[in-house]
Amino acid sequence: MPEFVPAPAMIPVPGGKIIEEYVGNASSGDDHISIAQMLAPAGWDEPAQQPEFDEYTVVLEGAIDVEHDDGVTHVRAGQAVITRAGERVRYTTKDGARYIAVCMPAFHGNLVHRDDDDEYDRPPEE
């Protein structure tokens, strides 16, 4: 039987970004994939990370910058970026963005490995 998701789990994060997880550890108990809409305000950034999951990001509005070992990839509305498990990346936005992030395996605070910010690396609330 199909599993209906009536509303996303709202995951609070520092910096004013809003995470609306529709599928994943926090919302549906899935640990193999997470699907979330991200709403990042202008000037938002987060610490660099080296996650244990692949992340597929589709920008719907605005733009994000993905800093990595080879430079910066600027991703605008209508474009996507894929980061692979083990890559060191940092996400930022100058003017704000709305985007969809799909993580495999599912996002979990214990798998993201962000630099110098214990505030981010907590497991999702049960």
Q: Domain extents for the chain? A: 9-101
| In the block, residue with structure tokens 């709202």 | 10
How far is residue 96's CA from residue 107's CA, in Å, rounded to a whole number?
22
Structure tokens at 101: 């992030």
pLDDT of residue 94: 96
pLDDT tens-digit profile, the chain (126 residues): 999 999 999 988 888 999 999 999 999 999 999 999 999 999 999 999 999 999 999 999 999 999 999 999 999 999 999 999 999 999 999 999 999 999 999 999 899 998 875 555 444 444
What CATH number does the domain located at 9-101 have? 2.60.120.10
Q: How far is CA 68 from CA 19, 61, 72, 96, in A?
A: 22, 22, 6, 20
Inter-residue contact 19 to 72 (CB < 8 Å): no
Inter-residue contact 123 to 109 (CB < 8 Å): yes
Structure tokens at 75: 């991703």
pLDDT of residue 13: 84
